[in-house]
Structure 1
Amino acid sequence: MMRLFPVTTAGAGAARVLPAGGEGRIIAVFRRSFYAAFDAGLVCVGPPGFGPGPLHLLAPMAGIVSWQAWLDVGQRAEAEAGRLFVGDLCFDARSVRPWRASPPWLIPADSLARGLARLSAAANEARPTGFARPTGFGRLIAPLSGSVSAVTVAAEDPVIAKALPIIDALMAWAGRAEIARDAPVPPVTGMLGLGPGLTPSGDDLLAGFLVGLQRLGASHLADRLAASVLPLAATETNAISAAYLAWAAKGEAAASLIDAFTEICAGGDNLAPHLARIAEIGHSSGWDCLAGMTFAARAMLPALVCRDQKVAEAFGRDAGAL
């Protein structure tokens, strides 16, 4: 007898896979979620509590304690007319409108600067603010306020130590490329596949950097970086991480990450609940992605300040009034 799971949320990537139809395979199974791969892309099936994301197909688990007791890696899956079939399970998304991240908006440089300062301070305080201390590359957020040296943090973590020169090069490039559009993209080979996790920390940071550029209006830079990252991702990391990177290149990420970055860009008056949700994403994936977004924002801030000054001068107003 077929068990029906009504889908409540389907990300843009998942929604693209199901109507395309065809046969796929289960490529990863966890307690609360599993991944199915098709020619048209990947789908991550999980509970509504995961929140929207580009690959997410979310449905109540309806008595399923662990998918590991129901499914096996390599098991056949089938997509057909908006539904996903795995054995005697059917996930029906036919009545669900595809979810996409909210469109970016024009971000004033002064509010972004305030948000970055408040984020750095919150990451440094962590526990008093109501969430666990940042992990992974999230540990590099506090140094933005000058409270601790990034070099000191890197000395305590070999993954961060290896990534720090690449991060510095990416930030320098993003800031410089706004003026010199032909500035070459720095090599990112050492970042892909770097660190632990289903999606390695280095991949998550790059994904966050791509999303940050897109949401800050620098799609031309995101496109250039993606042209360097995505071909390498096909061989330097796993299929799940590569899929998330492909959607990050389009500015798509988990809703909790988009919401947190939006709050930062708006001045960061209410960061704590957003950071608490970030801390719940993977082992360190939430912090790794947010760190990438933060580095992109910090790199782009001088260009945004110049933009606001030029707009203010054109309209005969003080830049701070924007």
Structure 2
Amino acid sequence: MPTIDDRTAPATGAVRGRAARAGVPTIPLPRDSARATVATSARSRAGATVPAAASTGVADLLRGPVRPARVLLSVPAAVYLEVRTDRGPDVVGVLTSDAARLPLACVLSRPSNGRALVSVPSGSPAQVGAGRIVVGDLVVSAAAWWDPRPRLPSARPALLPEGVRELRGALYGDPVMPSSFALAGLPAGPSGPLAALRGAVRRADLDAALRTAIRLVGLGPGLTPAGDDVLAGIVAGLVLLGHPDAERFGAGVHALATGRTTELSRSLLRHASAGRVSGEFAAVVRALVGDGALAPALRTLLATGSTSGRALALGLATAIDFSERGARAR
């Protein structure tokens, strides 16, 4: 490594490193330009590296080269970063242990403490890559990995009938599929998008559902609008249940989301199209195939966020309805 003496001496071999050879202490300098010096100083000001369990859904981002990012939001339980990639913007999150376990996140071992996870405003610069996330004074490393796609017994798993009835009963108050349903924050009534979606289900018409999706994308407040959460639940449910048109439907929804919703929500729709879901959603799906108790898993999912958990559950129930009716039609 070059030293101050190396940098300031003439470029002749006879005089380079005289201080070092004379036994005078020298200060190592980076080989690159002053930009590298600034970067090194910034890293030294950051806190100690914090280990986290990272979703394999963001393995490419974390293991890839260091990329610039910007803060979308920092709250007590999470910080979300938008990362620019060759395929467009992507999102990665750092979450505390008591946050919903999203498929694009690195999860810390500690719960939130009531203060913002990182004290930086939206738009602040960050870095993602080489196994780390650096934002403000927080440095997170991927110390372990978890798979956000639930392990199911087959590509087209059979669901427990009593579990499906319990899911429908919790959502609709009736174990039989209703003619319509409502969700806070979304238009209700016979002309609303949810009613149109139920009509598509009754006809087992996934193309009609995709046409209805344009009315749901971005509908509702927040970083993950309720309309998007419903669609994410449908997409992920169709994929995990092995519906033959799941890939086409998921690609169509993701394409509709471009420019119509938040980057966080768009990224979650992309993960849903690969069957990657939150830990809470995955627990319900596993329970529906007999792996775990459904009642506590369903309570946890429904309690997620103000509308997100219920919207995701509605989407899952809709995917089940599509799969059942499609199977009867075939």
Common topology (TM > 0.5) = yes
Alpha-carbon distance, 1:198 to partner? 2.2
Alpha-carbon distance, 1:172 to partner? 4.4
Specify which of 43, 47, 52 is matched with residue 8 of structure 1: 52
Tell me the equivalent position of 1:90: 139
Contact 2:56–2:145 (CA under 8 A) maintained in structure 1? no
Tell me the equivalent position of 1:32: 77
Q: Are the structure 2 counterparts of residues 69 and 207 from structure 1 closer, same or farther at C-alpha, using a change threshold of 3 Å? A: closer
Q: 5 Å matches for 1:67-82?
A: 67=116, 70-82=119-131
Tell me the equivalent position of 2:27: none
Letter of the 2:187 counterpart: V
Q: 5 Å matches for 1:274-293?
A: 274-293=297-316
Q: Are the structure 2 counterparts of residues 246 and 197 from structure 1 closer, same or farther at C-alpha, using a change threshold of 3 Å? A: same
Letter of the 1:81 counterpart: A
Q: Does 1:227 align with 2:257?
A: no
Q: Output the CA distance in 2 between the equivalents of 1:176 and 1:158.
A: 22
Q: Are the structure 2 counterparts of residues 64 and 190 from structure 1 closer, same or farther at C-alpha, using a change threshold of 3 Å? A: same
Contact 1:33–1:46 (CA under 8 A) maintained in structure 2? yes
* CA RMSD, Structure 1 to Structure 2 (Å): 3.0
Tell me the equivalent position of 1:196: 221
Q: Are the structure 2 counterparts of residues 5 and 159 from structure 1 closer, same or farther at C-alpha, using a change threshold of 3 Å? A: farther
Alpha-carbon distance, 1:76 to partner? 0.7
TM-score, length-normalised on structure 1?
Answer: 0.76
Specify which of 222, 231, 238 is matched with residue 213 of structure 1: 238
| Higher RCO (CA < 8 A, seq sep 6+) | 1
Identity %: 25
> Number of matched residues?
278
Tell me the equivalent position of 2:38: none
TM-score, length-normalised on structure 2?
Answer: 0.74
Q: Output the CA distance in 1 between the equivalents of 2:292 and 2:107.
A: 30
Alpha-carbon distance, 1:53 to partner? 2.9
Q: Are the structure 2 counterparts of residues 76 and 275 from structure 1 closer, same or farther at C-alpha, using a change threshold of 3 Å? A: same
Q: Output the CA distance in 1 between the equivalents of 2:61 and 2:292.
A: 38
Q: Output the CA distance in 2 between the equivalents of 1:269 and 1:92.
A: 31
Q: Output the CA distance in 1 between the equivalents of 2:236 and 2:100.
A: 18
Q: Structure 1: 5+ residue runs without aligned partners?
A: 124-137, 308-322
Q: Structure 2: 5+ residue runs without aligned partners?
A: 1-44
Contact 1:34–1:44 (CA under 8 A) maintained in structure 2? yes
Letter of the 2:276 counterpart: E
Larger Rg belongs to: 2
Specify which of 56, 61, 84 is matched with residue 17 of structure 1: 61
